[in-house]
A and B are shown apart, each in its own frame.
Chain A
């Protein structure tokens, strides 16, 4: 429970960084998504046991702040976490490659859900421009940010879930 609650201050800090700095550093029209990268890194780590809770916290926080339809970030983060946990069980030997792969997938999923949600809200976005000016640059930026986030998440996971050492007297 305490580990789940630890996600609140961490995602609060990440959200502040995202709103104040990262969202203001666009490449064409695309921006990186620190919270999604953190959710991905957390889901892929073998020691992590509260990936779903943290994805829920991150998704709700972004949904509350962003003008995106409420369920879109939440659904994207949960789906990404699901794929991440699946990958973590299958290809856990290469977590960095899984991180990069899931970064691309997560960005596409998030943007796809946003695209559909905005469409049903009455805002039709041009597909070609959206992909070339928003999604692809965002994917590139996310890939750039993925490695440092992966290292930070790795350190945090080792701190939150320390290795249990059992001494035997025999």
Chain B
């Protein structure tokens, strides 16, 4: 009897304590206690989870490295392909820009000339001479003596032609002589090239007010080139009172070292004076 009565009270006490703890917990009085108890448990759990992940990675990493290496190689290959495509596109863009500039020039030229665009494919092997080779020839209507220009200005003259290519003598060649007019004072002069590629206006009258900044254009005299093609600008003047003529150095508007494409004026034929020259008597 005593045993069953004490068991009842023990159970009742435990229930009361349990209910009390639940009520305390629900009312928030147990939070500090839970915090202090759970904190080390959470730390232990975190430590275990970290170690598990480390072990898991240690076991699975070799397979991932192989996969990543293959992927990396694939991506590097794609990068290489894209870089080569970029270089190719940049090259095409540069060519297109040059051709667009030439096209704009051909459209906007008031003289209404007929043009054939050509790419520069080579340079004369002899360093004394300033000649270039272009990829258009007699099949495209090119003939000897036709003027060659860019959208910036005069380049030279067709010197020799084959069916599919032509050789162009630049105005910087030592043997090149171009009749020019100097603006704004409209003085006539001759533009000559040199072995260094420098241009000089010579045979300028001492009376002409030649000065740096003057523009040099073709005069059309002699019938070798059409008139009013821009050549360059006078950058320095050499004038001595004991000489018959003055001269000046000319900065060309065309950069001859980076020529990529040119226009050949196909509806201009140089004047042939040879029938007018009297034959020499024996």
Which residues of A are interface residues toward B (Cβ below 8 A)?
Answer: 15, 18-20, 22-24, 26, 29-31, 33, 35, 62, 65-68, 73, 111, 114-115, 118, 121-123, 125-126, 129-130, 133-134, 138
Contacts and interface: CB of A to CB of B under 8 A. Distances in A.
Contact of B122 (A23, A30, A115, A133): A23
A125 B127 CA distance: 12
B100 to A, nearest CB: 24
Contacts of B175: 118, 121-123
A86 B175 CA distance: 37
B52 interface: no
Interface SS of B by simple majority: loop
Q: Which of B121, B123, B159, B196 has the most CB of A within 10 A?
A: B123
B126 A66 contact: yes
Nearest to A111: B128
B125 A18 contact: yes
A31 B127 contact: yes
Contact of B125 (A31, A115, A123): A31
Given A66-B129, A114-B128, A129-B195, A123 B174 contact: yes
A68 B194 CA distance: 15
7 contacts: A19-B124, A23-B123, A23-B125, A26-B127, A66-B131, A118-B174, A138-B127
Given A35-B125, A134-B127, 6 more contacts: A19-B122, A22-B125, A23-B125, A26-B127, A65-B133, A114-B126
Contacts of A126: 194-195
Contacts of B169: 67
A29 B196 contact: yes
Contacts of A20: 121-122
B124 A134 contact: no
Contacts of B128: 68, 111, 114-115, 118, 125, 130, 134
A31 B175 CA distance: 19
